[in-house]
């Protein structure tokens, strides 16, 4: 792959990239004010990244999710979260349903039913914040996919350097999709 084959969209227009990060910060602040924890946001970010097939964002947000307290068991069965109901709270299940509906965009009646069920467990503020978080994460996924952001093996880097890898950079306190 030549340098011309890869185009980093996020680097090509820093103003737009910073604006998207600003939106993500606003959305994270609204989620926090609505009582949605960082762990719930990261579960949604990981699930959206799974659905979109964004390896870079998956790598990043799985680390953020672990740091936020999401269990390895929850992450391991996240693709089948509906079948593992006991592992996820009512809020987490509603948040995942909102994230999936915003990402997959099922047929209108199915989407309306899914979102109506999620609303039963959410306040208006939570419902709004989760939809905005899903829209924002989808945008970050698209940027990473279009840019073909590479996923680097932390294990290979450790072996090559002969030292322990640097600790994962923690997610910014208020930006659910930053760095993606």
Instruction: Identify the structural domains of the chain with CATH numbers, from first to last.
Output: 25-152 (1.20.1290.10)
80-133: pLDDT as tens digits? 999 999 999 999 999 999 999 999 998 999 999 999 999 999 999 999 999 999
What local confidence, expressed as pLDDT, does residue 160 receive? 54
Least confident segment among 11-15, 62-66, 81-85, 176-180:
176-180
**pLDDT for 157 beyond 70:** no
Name the residue with tokens 């269990």: 71
Q: Which residues contact 150 (CB under 8 A, 6 or more apart)?
A: 56
Please give the pLDDT value at position 62. Answer: 98
Q: Is the pLDDT of residue 12 over 50?
A: yes
Q: What CA–CA distance (Å, rounded) separates 144 from 139?
A: 9
Question: Quick one: DSSP state of residue 163?
Answer: S
pLDDT in tens, 23-69: 999 999 999 999 999 999 999 999 999 999 999 999 999 999 999 99
pLDDT at 164 over 70: no
Secondary structure letter of residue 170 according to DSSP: P
CA angle 118, 122, 127 (to 5 degrees): 80
Higher-pLDDT residue of 160 and 74 is 74
99 by DSSP, 3-state: which?
helix
pLDDT at residue number 171? 39
**Residue 70: what pLDDT?**
98
- Cα pseudo-dihedral 12, 13, 18, 24, rounded to 10: -80
**Are the beta carbons of 96 and 75 closer than 8 angstroms?**
no
Mean pLDDT of the chain: 88
């Amino acid at each position: 792959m030549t340098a011309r084959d890869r185009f980093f969209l996020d680097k090509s227009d820093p103003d737009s990239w910073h604006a998207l990060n600003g939106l993500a910060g606003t959305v994270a602040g609204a989620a926090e004010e609505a009582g949605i924890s960082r762990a719930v946001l990261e579960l949604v970010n990981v699930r959206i990244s799974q659905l979109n097939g964004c390896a870079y964002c998956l790598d990043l947000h799985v680390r953020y999710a672990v740091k936020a307290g999401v269990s390895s068991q929850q992450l391991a069965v996240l693709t089948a979260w509906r079948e593992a109901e006991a592992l996820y709270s009512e809020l987490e299940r509603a948040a995942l349903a909102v994230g999936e509906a915003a990402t997959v965009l099922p047929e209108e009646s199915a989407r309306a039913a899914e979102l109506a069920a999620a609303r039963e467990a959410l306040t208006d503020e939570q419902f709004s914040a989760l939809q905005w978080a899903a829209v924002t994460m989808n945008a970050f996924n698209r940027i990473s996919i279009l840019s073909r952001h590479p996923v680097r093996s932390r294990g290979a880097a450790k072996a090559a350097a002969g030292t322990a890898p640097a600790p994962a950079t923690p997610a910014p306190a208020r930006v659910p999709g930053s760095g993606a």
